[in-house]
Amino acid sequence: MIKWLKSYLLMEKEVGSNSYRREVTGNFVILFSFAILFLLTLSNFFLSSRTIFYANLALFSGLCLITFLFRHNKRLVIHSIAHFMAGGIFVIVYFNQAQDYTPIWSFLYMYLIISLYGHQKGLMIAGGFLGCLLLFLSFWVGETVTKLEFIRFAFVSVFILFFAYLAELLISRTFEQLNKTKSILEKMTITDELTGLHNRRHFNDVLSDKINSARRSKEMLALAIIDVDHFKKYNDTYGHPAGDQVLITLAELLKTTMKRSDDVLFRLGGEEFALLYKPKDETSAIALLERIREAVEDVVKEENIQSIVTISAGLYIIKPQKTQSFEQVYKSADELLYQAKELGRNRVVVSP
């Protein structure tokens, strides 16, 4: 029973957002409504008048009907039950003439409504409900309810409404800050700190997905691995800050050139970069990489780089009709880069 309850209320699921919390609250509303109305109906059958028993039975039947009619839209079921609960409170208060502490059920309703709708919209709905309830209760002031009891109830109700609003506001802001921080941390784990490009870890995660996606959509995919020529010698000659400036400049050039939404750029480590993009054909795939290679020398001159910088690249074209793994694709592109270096650098070597 406990295991089922935890599963139904999603207690084993990771807390991640306000929507999750509202889903849990909604499940609780359904479960609680059925449980409490069933128990009230049963107890009133034995302990109370027939009139109150029939009122509870009608409410329980109405609850079952709402759940059945809107069973394919859980959100609508939850909100309908919540508002049905408001009507039920008025009915019970009416039949009990505001006695036997029946108005205090409004406390639960106000808290649930603010949890379901959020602090702003929830406050408006709960505030409207409380205003109507206080007006309704005023009819029994001086008869079954004393003035002092009415004032006490109104005072406590307003405070409960305020604190429910405040709690929801603080929880919502906490979740927003938590998700914002989580998003920043997730971005940091896949981003290269120096260049702002994706890092090797993200490359390992993305490449297989991109290969499979391109194969399903029958699109050509190109993987280019780029390496800065003689970068170690450049670092040794001009220092690491100058070397970092070369890498940053190259990264900015790649960002400027690769603007399409499905272009993905990576710094694999050191002076090695990777480009993943979908060309129209092999000619356009090669032309793009050649433009980048030719642009490198001009760009580094503009950025006051202290020496001529060139790049070598291995370009591997992934055909949609051919099934290949991450390891095969990466190894092939890396071998093409190695060939470019063996052939004298400052060139692009393309897969046959």
Residues belonging to the active site: 271
Query: HSE (CB half, 13 Å, CA atoms) of 265?
Result: 18
DSSP string covering 89-108, please?
A: HHHHHHHHTT-TTGGGHHHH
| Contact by Cβ (8 Å): 59, 88 | yes
Residue 114 makes CB contacts below 8 A (sequence gap 6+) with 122, 123, 126, 164, 165, 168
Cα dihedral 195, 233, 272, 349 sign: positive
Angle subtended by helix axes 105-117 and 74-96, to nearest 10: 160
The Cα–Cα gap between 244 and 211 comes to 31
Structure tokens at 287: 């032309």
Strands 348-350 and 272-277: unpaired
**CB contact at 8 A, 348 and 222:** no
